[in-house]
A = this chain, B = another copy of it.
Amino acid sequence: MSEEAVVALAAVTVLGVLQQAYFSLQVIYARRKYSVSPPATAGPPEFERIFRAQANCSEYFPIFIAVLWTSGVFFSQGLSSVCGLLYLYGRLQYFHGYSESAQRRLAPLYFSARVLWVLVGFSLLGVFFSFCRVYLKVDLLRGLGSALGLV
């Protein structure tokens, strides 16, 4: 794996980590504001929405990183990094929306879920093509290209 092939994925990963740090700080501020001391996680709805928003983003973080890298390494670093940025943008909107009301979390949640499905699709395609090359010695991408007169 060369440096050029993954540096943009690494950049999106670090950005994702910074976003998680930002969400964690918001929970700490909300704990102070609404006087909910650890280990308690129950409190006024305003606090619980912020707490759940952060928990949901944390839960999806490893899934996001797994498909970002699988898609980026086996399919396309450029397309995966763009999807990665869109996903992080969607998660930021989701977090701020959820902080305001449970209803406002929905649109950005659906958006980030759709971006995640695109990354899952890219990963499936990339791994499938790679399987064909490695185990069946068939290069479908190249075959497709030559069938279309591209190669």
Interface size class of A (residues with CB under 8 A): 35 or more
Q: Tell me, rounded to whole Å, the shortest Cβ–Cβ distance linking A27 to chain B.
A: 10
Q: Tell me, rounded to whole Å, the shortest Cβ–Cβ distance linking A124 to chain B.
A: 6
How far is B53's CA from A101's CA once the two chains are assembled, in angstroms?
26
CB nearest to A74 among chain B residues: B10
Interface 1/0s, chain A 93-119, versus B by CB < 8 A? 000001000100100000000000000
Contacts A51-B39, A133-B3 given; does A63 touch B20 at CB 8 Å: yes
Q: Tell me, rounded to whole Å, the shortest Cβ–Cβ distance linking A40 to chain B.
A: 8
> Which chain B residues lie closer than 8 Å to A18 at the CB level?
120
CB nearest to A16 among chain B residues: B66
Known: A7-B131, A10-B123, A14-B127. 6 other contacts (CB 8 A): A3-B130, A13-B66, A21-B120, A55-B59, A58-B59, A65-B66
